[in-house]
Amino acid sequence: MRRHFPRAYVRLAARVLGVLSHETRLGLVLALTQGPASVSELCDYLDLPQSNVSHHLAILRAATLVSDTRDGHFVFYQLDVATWRRLGDGFFDQLIAGADEVRLQNVHIRRTGPTSAAGHRPSRRA
């Protein structure tokens, strides 16, 4: 039997996929899967001007895909874990259901910590 996804989930997934359909925003999310980063670090990582990166971070923040924290004059961005968990309930069923590895083209996700199928937490490697 096929799993039924509530309309609210489908709306959220469609909105997120729309936001991620832009190459710069997807690049920012992939960079942030490696941990929090400042705007200047993200500019260097993507080789883009600050105004461009800030614009796309604002869109990601409005979609609740990233959040920010301030440390003095610096702003650090990180993935908003709550939103990604809501999405993960459908998109990454094989991880949640117990598989310990998922390969998505050039991204390899393997559980290695305390919450995997064998009681381990997922870690991500590119």
Locate the domains of the chain by residue range. 7-82, 93-125
- 42 compared with 109, residue with greater pLDDT: 42
Among 26, 25, 47, 30, residue whose Cα is nearest residue 126: 30
> Residue 42: what pLDDT?
97
Residue-wise pLDDT tens digits, 54-98: 999 999 999 989 999 998 988 999 998 877 777 766 655 544 455
Q: What are phi and psi of 69, to 5 degrees?
A: -135, 145
Alpha helices in 1-126 (DSSP H): 7-20, 23-32, 39-46, 50-62, 81-91, 93-96
Average pLDDT along the chain: 77
If one looks up domain 7-82 in CATH, what number appears? Answer: 1.10.10.10
